[in-house]
Structure 1
Amino acid sequence: MNTIIKLLFIGLFAIPICSFGQTNSQDLAKINTEGFQNSQVMSLIADLSDVYAPRLTGTDQYLAAAEWVKQTMNSWGMDEAYFENYCDDCMGWEVKSFNVEMVAPAYMKIQAYPYAWTESSNGVQEGELVWIEPSPDLDHVKNKWTGKLKGKTVLIGSAPDQNMLFDALSTRLTEEAIAEAERSIHPAPDNPLGPSAGNVDLIEDLEIIFEQFMQKDDAFFAFLKAEGALAIFGTTPLFPGIVHPSGTYNFRESDEKPIPYFAISPENFGKLSRLTKREKTPKIKFHLDSELYLKPENNVNVLAEITGSDPKLKDEVVMIGAHFDSWHPASGATDNGAGSAVMMEAMRIIKASGLKPKRTIRMALWGGEEQGYVGSLAYAENHFGKVKETARKKEVEKISAYLNMDNGAGQMRGIYLQGNEAVKPVFEEMLAPYEHLDVNHLTIQNTNMTDHDVFDYYNIPGFQIIQDRLNYMTVTHHTNLDALEYVPERDMMINATVIAALVYQIAEREGMMPRKD
């Protein structure tokens, strides 16, 4: 075989034998070069977590972060970057200063962080601790404790079990778990990948969740306030020493605000409960200086667009998104600065690559997701039609798909298809060029409890990304450790580049993405 024939033979088999649909392989090469060799994603997440954090719904910090995103998107040459307000009565809440100590029977600095939207203490307070163990019957609690709580600090909940930390705090999804999910034939089995799976009715189930979970303790908090208790301590069994102040949802202007309420570490809770059981009554000294305020202008979704280049298709839209708000005890790096930075970087990659997608690509960073999809629901009602009504606006028909990222900073491993069988071969083809990165696993399963649920409710193809768990649910989710140190660079680069490639291919398709009906 002569040299020229040898070179042609080698060159032929060096080209991947796969179809890119309507997308030229050179376009994907441009995306890969920009995403992997010129990445800015870690710079973005560093700004979000170190400079513009925390981003609690309704706060001045949230608005400052949103302004930074809009300015950044404009600097990259997006065709539009703008705000849409989503709430007129979502209140801001900020901590100015706090301290919690046990001063008797011996001194102990208590690892604590206040829950959001709780009242200030009006200076330093000091009082004995009592422990109210869980009871499903509020009347039983009232019968036992009425007249006994004035000037007391109240420990509530169960003492956490011991934890020797034999299990790994950080894990990646196993091949067995992914294979089990891929074999699923029903959207709502037991989910081997971790997040909840089910057939969720967005409106009815969300109302039940708020009533039975998010606001289940409101009557109890009102009783403590009426009895003159000074403060409340609770915990979540996250070891070692993790503080998890996720649990107050009194963010509306009309909501009754609890007395000062602190999450404390499970180890501190254990000691306080043991002392109380032995009648070695702890004495607690604390203060909380916090501020509640209402500024409706802070409550904005952040949107940015690359306008489609095809005159016939540019009115059709491919959307990507993540929630932008975070809880307050840390910097919101994994929840959900990581998802927000990935979506910003995906937009930058497409723009910087010089690509001109046929359809419009729109990024949305949502506010108020932690309070029950407040931002994305407001957007949907404004653009798609009212919930609980059958009438729909024409814009519903113009959204080809919505891709969401909100399960931490772990690497993308695939896509939850949300029961949509028709999109499976489409995603298989689009992800084929990235098989070597192990991001191409598809499961028919649903996953719930983030903003893609809103789009699915309106029968828009809405999808959540499967991600490696890392330490999302064991260390960082809504805790004082949600920091940049738990965001791996390679995972973030892969996520942003693959999302950019996916959304660009969807925008280039001859037709819209297929819907369930």
Structure 2
Amino acid sequence: MKIFSKIFTALFLFVGFSVTSQTKSQALSKINTEGFQNSQAMSLISDLSDVYGPRLTGTDQYYTAAEWAKKTIANWGIDKVYFESYCDDCMGWEVKSFNVEMTAPAYMKIQAYPYAWTENSNGVQIGDLIWIESYTNLEKVKEQWSGKLEGKTILIGSAPKQNMLFDALSTRFTDTQIEEAEKSIVPAPTNPLGPSAGDIDLIKDLEVIFESFMRKDDAFFTFLKAEGALSVLGTAPFFPGVIHPSGTYNYRESDVKSIPYFAISPESFGKLKRLIAREINPKIKFHLDSELYLKPENNVNIIAEITGSDPKLKDEVVMIGAHFDSWHPASGATDNGAGSAVMMEVMRIIKATGLKPKRTIRMALWGGEEQGYLGSLAYAENHYGKVKETTRTKEVEKISAYINMDNGAGQMRGVYLQGNEAVKPVFEEMLAPYAHLDVNNLTIQNTNFTDHDVFDYYNIPGFQIIQDKLNYQTVTHHTNLDALEYVPERDMMINATVIAALVYQIAEQESRLPRED
């Protein structure tokens, strides 16, 4: 009888394991079929970038795109789709027309794009160009230039170092880089996969980095206005000819606004600087027709939910997200239209398969990330408790995980574990079926400066996807070339399908993902 009992028990366990494995296999098969054979990822990113981009925080264009996303998701039969507001005083800013030229000593069309939230030029303006290398010591600048800036355009900063473009503009992570990251044993050393690494400190990020960076120009702008200067020209070292107009953060209604301020190509900057060095004074002609306005209703996060099917677990949530806002000079395709389209496609795939995850799956497309996590931080404070306070709501304990995508349009290569050792074996098992796609690389290291920082701060398991760099940091990040041409279809399909599979498996777990100690 004991022998029979043991045999029966072993058979029961084997059958149970087989059924469980088969069920998981069948679910992943459905996800793969939908994600790879019926993909809508490129259609979504095409709409989001070509039709509804750019999506600068506070603008009508952002809200129009948000309405499109909400309607599109609702048409898939997703259980809940709604907006949540995040900012009452974030201003919109639109460009209607602009032009920048050198008219003397010879004509040159200056490759330019205005920085956001700068003031209208009130028509065509013409003035001599002068150079101010730095305004870090504003008192020294005032001492040298007070009374001398009226009617002038200022060339600000140093000419970027010459770049002969011997290095590739687009790259994927090498096996060596991936292996080095996987071998890391502490979260915060220099990250072989990119520059953003360190101990995540949300308060430090927001107060020391974002706020000090955002407010660094205010006194200089005030001085230029008082002196009667006409405009400012600046640049960044993006070769060849790439314009990088991010860096103005005067988006709140009460913020000091700059006189017309243009980012120009490094090549245009270099020529202007060389002429000044020869004591030849270029004459600059420009106009900027722009509009500042305040419409708080534009500032919304887009939230969507597939309600869990298990009576005991449906109140627990697996969250995914990406920031929906972008900078203004292009369509915001890689930053972060690609991430937003992938997360939308994740929701579509899971819904279209007919799978019924035990836990609720919630997607958030955040506004205002580029201005310091405005959307995700407002959401967290509304749902989890105030920053800097120790009291937390019970909702914090209901979130099993948050997975974020915001590193361009490159293929997923794995997950940054953010120092969470306990989750490694869980993700290893979940990603094993996709090892042939090389998406199952895990590193204990941190990456930061995007929305998962907020969730990590609340001790919610928050993870950022590792993605191939492609040309994100060299060509498209916050530039006039952030366009659909730099979004690879295969990468988008892999990203959406693998994340859908990962999220579904997390939602099916008997318990939440382990938190950091």
TM-score by length of 1: 0.96
Residue 9 of structure 2 corresponds to none
Secondary structure of 1:45's aligned partner: helix
Give a deviation string over 1:298-356, Cα, whole Å, max 9, x none. Answer: 00000100000001100000000000000000000000000000000000000001100
Task: Tell me how far 1:160 sits from its aligned partner.
Answer: 1.1
How many Å separate the matches in 2 of 1:206 and 1:94? 26
| Structure 2 residue 453 is the aligned partner of structure 1 residue 471 | no
Task: Tell me how far 1:222 sits from its aligned partner.
Answer: 1.3
Residue 364 of structure 2 corresponds to 364
Residue 80 of structure 2 corresponds to 80
Greater mean deviation of Cα atoms: 202-211 or 318-327 = 202-211
Q: Verify the 8 A CA contact 2:414 2:439 in the aligned structure 1.
A: yes
Task: Tell me how far 1:22 sits from its aligned partner.
Answer: 9.9
Question: What is the identity, as a one-letter code, of the residue corresponding to 2:378?
Answer: A
Structure 1: give runs of 5+ residues left out of the alignment. 1-16
Q: Verify the 8 A CA contact 1:23 1:505 in the aligned structure 2.
A: no
How many Å separate the matches in 1 of 2:387 and 2:399? 17
Residue 38 of structure 2 corresponds to 38
Task: Tell me how far 1:215 sits from its aligned partner.
Answer: 2.2
| Structure 2 residue 394 is the aligned partner of structure 1 residue 405 | no
Give a deviation string over 1:121-170, Cα, whole Å, max 9, x none. Answer: 00000000000012531111111111110000000000111110000000
Question: What is the identity, as a one-letter code, of the residue corresponding to 1:509?
Answer: Q
Secondary structure of 1:288's aligned partner: strand
Residue 9 of structure 1 corresponds to none
Question: What is the identity, as a one-letter code, of the residue corresponding to 2:372?
Answer: G
| Structure 2 residue 387 is the aligned partner of structure 1 residue 387 | yes
Residue 220 of structure 2 corresponds to 220
Q: Verify the 8 A CA contact 2:419 2:444 in the aligned structure 1.
A: yes
Task: Tell me how far 1:19 sits from its aligned partner.
Answer: 11
Task: Tell me how far 1:205 sits from its aligned partner.
Answer: 2.9
Question: What is the identity, as a one-letter code, of the residue corresponding to 1:99?
Answer: N
How many Å separate the matches in 1 of 2:22 and 2:464? 24
How many Å separate the matches in 1 of 2:293 and 2:32? 45
What aligned pairs does 1:367-516 form with structure 2 within 5 A after superposition? 367-516=367-516
How many Å separate the matches in 1 of 2:478 and 2:139? 31
Identity, in percent, stands at 82
Aligned pair count reads 501
Question: What is the identity, as a one-letter code, of the residue corresponding to 1:468?
Answer: D
Residue 5 of structure 2 corresponds to none
Task: Tell me how far 1:218 sits from its aligned partner.
Answer: 1.6
Question: What is the identity, as a one-letter code, of the residue corresponding to 1:474?
Answer: T
How many Å separate the matches in 2 of 1:161 and 1:190? 25
Secondary structure of 2:377's aligned partner: helix
How many Å separate the matches in 1 of 2:18 and 2:274? 64
Give a deviation string over 1:398-447, Cα, whole Å, max 9, x none. Answer: 00000000000000000000000000000000000000000000000010
Residue 56 of structure 1 corresponds to 56
Task: Tell me how far 1:200 sits from its aligned partner.
Answer: 2.5
Residue 292 of structure 1 corresponds to 292
Q: Verify the 8 A CA contact 2:184 2:445 in the aligned structure 1.
A: yes
After TM superposition, the runs of 4+ consecutive aligned structure 1 residues lying more than 2 A away are 17-23, 210-215
Task: Tell me how far 1:371 sits from its aligned partner.
Answer: 0.1
| Structure 2 residue 327 is the aligned partner of structure 1 residue 331 | no
How many Å separate the matches in 2 of 1:346 and 1:200? 27
Residue 4 of structure 1 corresponds to none
Question: What is the identity, as a one-letter code, of the residue corresponding to 1:497?
Answer: T
Structure 2 CA distance for partners of 1:366 and 1:23, relative to 1, 3 Å: farther
How many Å separate the matches in 1 of 2:353 and 2:512? 23
How many Å separate the matches in 2 of 1:18 and 1:104? 79
Task: Tell me how far 1:213 sits from its aligned partner.
Answer: 2.2
What aligned pairs does 1:131-170 form with structure 2 within 5 A after superposition? 131-170=131-170
How many Å separate the matches in 1 of 2:256 and 2:91? 12
Q: Verify the 8 A CA contact 2:430 2:505 in the aligned structure 1.
A: yes
Q: Verify the 8 A CA contact 2:221 2:256 in the aligned structure 1.
A: no
How many Å separate the matches in 2 of 1:487 and 1:374? 26
Task: Tell me how far 1:204 sits from its aligned partner.
Answer: 2.8
Question: What is the identity, as a one-letter code, of the residue corresponding to 1:157?
Answer: G
Task: Tell me how far 1:195 sits from its aligned partner.
Answer: 3.9
How many Å separate the matches in 1 of 2:276 and 2:19? 68
| Structure 2 residue 345 is the aligned partner of structure 1 residue 345 | yes
How many Å separate the matches in 2 of 1:322 and 1:242? 25
Secondary structure of 1:497's aligned partner: helix
How many Å separate the matches in 2 of 1:480 and 1:488? 18
Question: What is the identity, as a one-letter code, of the residue corresponding to 2:51?
Answer: V
Task: Tell me how far 1:241 sits from its aligned partner.
Answer: 0.3
Q: Verify the 8 A CA contact 2:214 2:250 in the aligned structure 1.
A: no
| Structure 2 residue 108 is the aligned partner of structure 1 residue 108 | yes
Residue 301 of structure 1 corresponds to 301
Question: What is the identity, as a one-letter code, of the residue corresponding to 1:453?
Answer: D
Give a deviation string over 1:273-300, Cα, whole Å, max 9, x none. Answer: 0101111100000000000000000000
How many Å separate the matches in 2 of 1:211 and 1:294? 21
Task: Tell me how far 1:23 sits from its aligned partner.
Answer: 5.9
Q: Verify the 8 A CA contact 1:402 1:463 in the aligned structure 2.
A: yes
Greater mean deviation of Cα atoms: 58-67 or 135-144 = 135-144
How many Å separate the matches in 1 of 2:244 and 2:504? 38
How many Å separate the matches in 2 of 1:20 and 1:471? 42
Question: What is the identity, as a one-letter code, of the residue corresponding to 1:505?
Answer: Q
Residue 12 of structure 1 corresponds to none
Q: Verify the 8 A CA contact 1:318 1:361 in the aligned structure 2.
A: yes
Residue 11 of structure 1 corresponds to none
Give a deviation string over 1:474-509, Cα, whole Å, max 9, x none. Answer: 000000000000000000000000000000000000
Structure 2 CA distance for partners of 1:308 and 1:195, relative to 1, 3 Å: farther
Question: What is the identity, as a one-letter code, of the residue corresponding to 2:484?
Answer: L
Secondary structure of 1:50's aligned partner: helix
Residue 244 of structure 2 corresponds to 244
Give a deviation string over 1:350-405, Cα, whole Å, max 9, x none. Answer: 00011000000000000000000000000000000000000001100000000000
How many Å separate the matches in 2 of 1:22 and 1:383? 37
TM-score by length of 2: 0.96
Give a deviation string over 1:424-473, Cα, whole Å, max 9, x none. Answer: 00000000000000000000001000000000000000000000000000
Secondary structure of 1:432's aligned partner: helix
Q: Verify the 8 A CA contact 1:21 1:429 in the aligned structure 2.
A: no
**Superposition CA RMSD, Å:** 1.3
How many Å separate the matches in 1 of 2:430 and 2:513? 12
How many Å separate the matches in 2 of 1:135 and 1:22? 65
Q: Verify the 8 A CA contact 1:316 1:359 in the aligned structure 2.
A: yes
Question: What is the identity, as a one-letter code, of the residue corresponding to 1:223?
Answer: F
Task: Tell me how far 1:214 sits from its aligned partner.
Answer: 2.7
Q: Verify the 8 A CA contact 1:369 1:450 in the aligned structure 2.
A: yes
Secondary structure of 1:504's aligned partner: helix
